[in-house]
């Protein structure tokens, strides 16, 4: 029932956006629609589940403004059906370009074909899709999630190189079926395979939210008397886990080590404060590059099929140094 309500809400949101839209008049292919006029982009966002996502949304909205692109923004509230409805509405409105960050990896073929058949180019941002269809999107802009998981795992391997096992690890996964959850899990598993003493004793989704991370960590702590390491697939879940660990009378960062991904301001603050041990960055500031790519695809210029955004890693000292200049 809740899913149905949010789906209806999503359609309504797009409807309102459509009514308010002031994009160019419908035309033939994407090139002719924009000749001399403003580019209109339809963007379907995952939701507002994390600090990362909020920073990503702001980056896209600000960059659209700066680039003079008319942005029709739709928030899917974490529901794939809402994204599909939003994309269909963008096709009906004949926007010049559609961009979206897919909630999950599968289930996009039909709507991507609809956009392709309407001659509207699509750009994937942040997350990838699995599709058998050809040429249904122009490019995919985002981080290398497998590498992020690997860096997190390699830190654990290094940390426990001299420790006789077993080292008990619990994993807080992102949204089930999402690209970052799948790829970070696989990168992390590959990296920790280097030391057979490192064991993932429990792994469950916290849906990339702080409350999800807290709830799952509380259950992990009740069920497992010895937890050495938490691998949280984003900062928000790590921050939730910190609350659960403290409520259990333990010291996060000391009694239980925590490795996370994102490097948002709140995550970096917890790292500098010693409550977290290591963070792999995932840069959410994709807006300017997305707008550049959009202008190119609308102009019919060729773009690389994959644009990988660079990331780095932070330990506690590096976080303290980086914090004052952190942009998100």
- Applying CB under 6 A, the residues found at the interface with ligand AHR are 49-50, 52-53, 126-127, 180, 208, 234, 236, 261-262, 282
Least CB distance to ligand AHR at residue 143 (A): 8
CA distance 72 to 46: 14
Please, which residue, 127 or 275, has the CB nearer to ligand AHR? 127
Please, which residue, 90 or 208, has the CB nearer to ligand AHR? 208
Cis upstream peptide for 280 (omega within 30°): no
> If phi over 0 gives left and psi between -120 and 50 gives alpha, with beta otherwise, what is residue 300?
left
Least CB distance to ligand AHR at residue 255 (A): 25
Please, which residue, 228 or 311, has the CB nearer to ligand AHR? 311
Look-up: residue for tokens 């659209």? 64
Least CB distance to ligand AHR at residue 137 (A): 16
Least CB distance to ligand AHR at residue 262 (A): 5
Please, which residue, 154 or 281, has the CB nearer to ligand AHR? 281
Least CB distance to ligand AHR at residue 302 (A): 26
CA distance 178 to 164: 34
- Quick one: CA torsion of 69, 15, 11, 290, rounded to 10 degrees? 0
CA distance 182 to 190: 12
Least CB distance to ligand AHR at residue 267 (A): 9
CA distance 170 to 175: 16
Give kind and range of the element (H or E) at residue 204.
strand 198-205
Please, which residue, 24 or 153, has the CB nearer to ligand AHR? 153
Please, which residue, 49 or 96, has the CB nearer to ligand AHR? 49
Asked if residues 98 and 75 have their Cβ atoms less than 8 Å apart, the reply is no
């Amino acid at each position: 029932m809740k899913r149905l309500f949010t789906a209806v809400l999503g359609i309504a949101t797009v409807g309102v956006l459509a009514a308010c839209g002031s994009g160019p008049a419908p035309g033939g292919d994407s090139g002719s629609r924009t000749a001399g006029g403003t580019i209109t982009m339809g963007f379907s966002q995952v939701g507002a589940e994390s600090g990362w996502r909020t920073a990503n949304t702001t980056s896209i909205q600000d960059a659209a403004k700066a680039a003079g692109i008319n942005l029709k923004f739709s928030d899917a509230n974490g529901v794939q059906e809402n994204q599909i409805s939003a994309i269909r509405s963008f096709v009906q409105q004949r926007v010049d370009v559609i961009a979206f960050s897919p909630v999950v990896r599968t289930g996009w073929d039909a709507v991507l074909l609809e956009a392709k058949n309407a001659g509207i180019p699509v750009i994937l941002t942040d997350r990838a899709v699995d599709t058998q269809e050809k040429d249904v999107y122009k490019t995919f802009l985002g981080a290398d999630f497998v590498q992020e998981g690997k860096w997190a795992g390699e830190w654990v391997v290094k940390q426990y190189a001299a420790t006789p096992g077993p080292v008990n690890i619990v994993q807080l996964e992102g949204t089930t079926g999402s690209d970052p959850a799948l790829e970070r899990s696989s990168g992390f598993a590959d990296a920790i395979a280097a030391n057979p003493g490192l064991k993932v004793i429990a792994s469950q989704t916290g849906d990339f939210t702080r409350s999800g991370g807290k709830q799952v960590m509380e259950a992990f702590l009740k069920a497992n008397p010895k937890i050495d390491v938490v691998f949280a697939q984003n900062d928000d879940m790590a921050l939730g886990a910190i609350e659960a660990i403290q409520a259990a009378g333990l010291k996060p960062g000391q009694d239980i080590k925590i490795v996370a991904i994102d490097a948002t301001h709140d995550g970096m603050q917890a790292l500098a404060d010693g409550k977290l041990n290591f963070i792999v960055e995932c840069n959410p500031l994709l807006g300017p590059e997305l707008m550049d790519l959009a202008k190119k695809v609308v102009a019919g210029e060729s773009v690389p099929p994959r644009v990988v955004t660079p990331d780095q890693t932070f330990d506690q000292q590096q976080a303290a140094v980086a914090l004052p200049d952190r942009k998100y």
